[in-house]
Chain A
Amino acid sequence: MNQRYQQQRRALGSEAVITLVAAVGDPRVKAIFERAWEMVEDFEQRFSRFLPSSELSWLNQSDGARAPATPAMQRVAQTARDYAERSDGLFSPLLLGELQRAGYVGSFGVLDPAADIDLRDRGVQAAADIEIGDDWVMIPAGSALDFGGIGKGYLLDQLGDYLAGHGVADFWLSLGGDMLVDGHDLGSTDGWSIAVADAADPAADAARLTSGGRHLAAATSGTVKRRGARPDGAAWHHIIDPRTGRPAETDVLTATVVAPSATAADVWAKCLVIGGSAAAKTFAAGHGITDAYLQLSSKPRRLSIGKLITKA
């Protein structure tokens, strides 16, 4: 007889949830949770830009020079560069300076904003200029790296691989609302039922999808959450358009993407927001996105791609 096991914590400046289905009293569960949380914590310690002690912070202090890098850093940097090259210019991991200039200087989570390193002097550089060697990474001089647009997805994929590799067939994971699921919920033959938050009312559901037992990820990106006003009164949000270096001017309030990997879902959701609704279907077709759901600031208010995500 199986049961659900679930744990929740604050991590990566937001909420993290691990849920898995396993036999009642399964002795492996405790160790699996422990290791999974260790992975989350290690990732945060290594890749957070809000922690001056993180490897990412050290790398950003070494712009223009080969900085010794761990294999983990090399893999994430490589993944980010690859996605940047495939994104038609809509995704870049080198926007941190612009992001801070736009007004996003503190963490929105529990981390101390004072710990954020001021990198507002850094500019936008081509992600293709990130160099990765055998044991080093070099970011272009005057740039700063940030995995805020890809990190949660990447970590979710790592966690999913870990669970699958340890015989956990049925689980769902959430990092700040980015989701990765596999297998089935307890007693279900349809997999997992996933709700999509409403752009206007975060407590309400705008849409829903059912995983059907497949390994899939869903991520929602948007301009409605992390936004504010700068001291000069100008409005800002945290989705930066690499093409302009400024908060994206877009009619997409939120974009939810379903993809085989959380990394892809995370990145492509941002690209759909930045690209706007007019370009969404073309971008989706060109990047293998079969299912997406966009909530728009103007009529028709929503745009569906594929049939998996349905209005709630």
Chain B
Amino acid sequence: MYKYVITNSELTSRNVLALTLKPVSRPDLFPYKAGQYVTIGWKHGERPTPVRCFSLVTSPTQRGAVKIAMTLQGDFTKAAATLAIGQEVTLRGPFGDFTLEPEASGHVMIAGGIGITPLLSMLRYATDRGVKLPLTLLYGCRSQDDVSFLPEFDELCRLNPRLAVVYAITSGPVDKLAGRQVVSGYIDRDLLKKAGQRQGPGAEFYICGPPKFMTAMNETLEELGVGSGYIHTESFSQGKLRGQTGLYAGIYALTALAIVGGVGLMSAKQLASNFLNSQNSAPAVTAAPTDGGSAGAGVGSGVGTGSGAGATPSAVDTSTPAPTPYYQPRTKVS
């Protein structure tokens, strides 16, 4: 159990509330993986409130605070909207294994409504970590006014040229989304097919949203030949927490069910290792002096890794130690 305080409360769309939470004390910072969720509750007077589950919108790369978001419907979320800055809340978790698949060749994320929250966390994480994989987000909303976290997605698109975000708006105008990739209508078979083609074989698909949305997306992907082992889903549904007693007995909670096809739990260590490996596979960028001096030869990238040394010497100061080898300035046919 971790004690946090609310440091910001804002609407990110017309009916989605985001709460920013900071730990009361540093020991209460908890580790989590992008895509996981927590429970939140607080005291109303001296009595503890029910608790509900919400995905973390933030990424583990964002230090010092976490953010959760919720659709304003029902007593719990409406009560949350009235909480004052500085209100202490209690978090438990993190829970869930709806997290990034480490062996992927690309990631396609499919969100319906408030299902965007864990996917934003994953996209932020992948971007901050410099994951060198294509990323596609298909984000379905009823109207343009239901799109949440638009500035965050714009920022991620600027930071990450591998990321494409497509907004699928069921009804109404889309003028507020000008300059972005927008389709009018549902996320359909064609859009899923294009997203899959963009990623190429071996891409992982992550679906999060209302149950009917999840079912439709899952079935369509399977029709398109995507193996169940490549489809990861997280269903937001209202259910009764099992096995809880005492204070939590009888409380209805938003339960996140992770139905991860063929994918086991991945430890934070494994995830970090994967991303480190993906970065290490890229050529190093150590500046390599051509005279083989003390700055060190570039590992896998500096001089000495190719065979393209020019056939003729360039006009260099011969007092300089001869570079071995040194690529000469030379035009080639292109």
Contacts and interface: CB of A to CB of B under 8 A. Distances in A.
Contact of B331 (A15, A45, A197): A197
B244 interface: no
Nearest to B134: A53
B173 interface: no
Interface stretch (A96-104, A120-128, A184-192): A184-192
B1 interface: no
Interface stretch (A160-168, A219-227, A281-289): A219-227
Contact of B303 (A6, A193, A208): A6
Contacts of A46: 161
B181 interface: yes
Interface residues of B, number: 56
Scoring B285, B298, B329 by chain A CB atoms within 10 A of each residue's CB, the highest score goes to B329
B142 interface: no
A62 B199 CA distance: 17
Contact of B305 (A8, A30, A61, A205): A8
A62 to B, nearest CB: 9
B285 A37 contact: yes
A55 B162 CA distance: 8
Given A177-B331, A192-B329, A218-B331, A3 B314 contact: no
Interface in B286-333: 286-291, 293-295, 298, 301-303, 305-306, 308, 310-312, 314-320, 323, 326-333
B329 A135 contact: no
Interface of B is mostly: loop
A7 B326 CA distance: 10
A3 B293 contact: yes
B332 A177 contact: yes
B283 A193 contact: no
Contacts of B320: 3-4, 186-187
Given A4-B323, A187-B319, A205 B330 contact: yes
B177 to A, nearest CB: 9
B179 A136 contact: yes
A135 B327 contact: no
B178 to A, nearest CB: 7
Interface string A25-55: 1000110111001000010011000011101
Nearest to A176: B334
A174 interface: yes
A29 B334 CA distance: 29
Contacts of A199: 333
Interface in B154-197: 157-158, 161-162, 164, 178-182, 194, 197
30 contacts: A4-B326, A5-B295, A6-B302, A7-B285, A7-B298, A15-B308, A19-B329, A29-B287, A30-B287, A42-B161, A53-B136, A53-B162, A53-B164, A55-B161, A176-B332, A179-B329, A186-B320, A187-B317, A188-B317, A190-B315, A192-B315, A193-B315, A195-B328, A196-B331, A197-B330, A197-B332, A219-B334, A221-B333, A222-B333, A225-B333
Interface of B: 106, 134, 136, 157-158, 161-162, 164, 178-182, 194, 197-200, 283, 285-291, 293-295, 298, 301-303, 305-306, 308, 310-312, 314-320, 323, 326-334
